[in-house]
Amino acid sequence: MEVQVWSTAAEQVDTVVPVEIAGEKYLVVATSLLEGNDWSSTIRLLRHANGSFEHVHGLRLPTTVGSMAWFEPDVIVCAGDDGDLYYCMFDTETSTWRRLEPETAHGHNELISSVAVNSAMLASGSWDATVKLWDLTNMALLEQFKEHTDKVWGVQWAPLATTQLATASQDRSVRLWDTRQPGAVMTITTPAAAMCVAWHPTQEHLLTAGLEDGSIWTIDSRSLETTLSTLNQVHRGSVHALAYEGDALAAASDDTTVTVWDDLSLAAPTQRLVYEEHADYVRGVAWWSPTHLVSSSYDKSVHMWQVA
């Protein structure tokens, strides 16, 4: 298998987001330095050309960043471990990032673990056990959900029903929200802490959760009593990131691997492959194309590789 690697000298790679800017495809990467009192991140833009990634520009932030969400056409929203939200705009004329400063500091009371963007709103989930919705036009707080009883690890908007939000929590639950009816929350109890969630891109009721015990559960939101598939402890560590491409799902884990599965709507999905080239926790995974994945790891590297 051919693997293209981009690496840093000293910083772990937390998460990756493929983006399009002015018609060209890039990869946004968050790298973190965790030494002594210096807990900071750099938001980097990478261009893929001639079979490799080249570094375009990096912007240092005064906190570590574990999640990012792209707000088209040119803003990346970063989840700060200090509880603040950071907005960074890429200037195409100078090929540099710059910070957008909200009028007032805002965010959460604890580490922000996940952010997600739909057409008009930002959702953020935090270790303070809350989920907040923000207006992206003026960065104002719209709504706050407090039904979780422990850390919120993941938030994800449904791609087809854009008013629906799924959240994953340490309280061993996945919760489904509809922004048109904030009080009408649906709850799925999981056997271990839920670390991340991903909606199927074309089947609007299909939702998959990655769990702390290495399991991957897929649920039909119309029938919460029954799981469609339960891949119990298929990883040896927590599943921290999920990404769909059609019916294929990629799952990244603390066991240093990425697995790819086909058709999780079946009771017994097929495992297509296990990627084992990373040497530390894999905390980010995304589809670069229908045939290629990018994965990011605490081993200080980003890998691009072909899915057979």
Closest among 257, 243, 202, 273 to 116, alpha carbons compared:
243
Q: Is residue 125 part of a domain?
A: no
Section 43-61 average pLDDT? 94
pLDDT in tens, 237-263: 999 999 999 999 999 999 999 999 998
Return the amino acid letter for 248. Answer: A
Strand partners, 28: 17, 45
22 is a domain residue: yes
What gap in Å lies between CA 220 and CA 208, rounded to an integer?
Answer: 9
DSSP letter at 131? E
Range of the domain at 64: 12-106
Structural domain includes residue 133 = no
The mean pLDDT of 192-210, rounded to a whole number, is 95
pLDDT, residue 303, reads 97
User: Residue 84 domain-assigned?
Assistant: yes
Q: Which residue has the tokens 């996945």?
A: 174
What pLDDT, in 10s, does the model give residues 209-223? 999 999 999 999 888
At 272, the amino acid letter reads R
Q: Which residue has the higher pLDDT, 1 or 66?
A: 66
Cβ-contact 8, 282 below 8 angstroms: no
Domain-located, residue 116: no
pLDDT reading at 154 higher than 80:
yes
pLDDT confidence of residue 177 = 94
Average of per-residue pLDDT values in the chain:
93
Task: Specify the range with the lowest mean pLDDT, choosing from 104-113, 140-149, 153-162, 257-266.
Answer: 104-113
Whether 102 is in a domain gets the answer yes
How far CA 308 is from CA of 80, 175, 213, 266, in Å, comes to 36, 34, 27, 21
Is residue 284 domain-resident?
A: no
pLDDT at residue 224 above 80? no
With cut-offs at 50, 70 and 90, classify the pLDDT of residue 4: very high
Average pLDDT rounded to a whole number, residues 138-151: 93
Quote the pLDDT of residue 229: 85
Q: Are 249 and 266 in contact (CB under 8 A)?
A: no
Average pLDDT over residues 45-62: 94
The verdict on residue 247 lying in a domain is no
Residue 227: the pLDDT is 77
Higher pLDDT, 279 or 268: 279
- Provide the pLDDT for residue 272: 95
Overall domain count for the chain: 1
Q: Which pLDDT belongs to residue 259? A: 98
Report if pTM > 0.85.
yes
In this predicted structure, the answer to whether residue 298 has a pLDDT above a threshold of 70 is yes
User: pLDDT higher for 264 or 257?
Assistant: 257
The greatest distance separating any two alpha carbons of the chain, rounded to the nearest whole angstrom, comes to 53
Output 51 or 169, whichever has higher pLDDT: 169
Q: Is the pLDDT of residue 34 over 90?
A: no
Instruction: For residue 36, name the pLDDT band (cuts at 50, 70, 90).
Output: low
pLDDT of the residue at 290: 96
Give the per-residue pLDDT at 10.
85
What pLDDT score was predicted for residue 105? 61
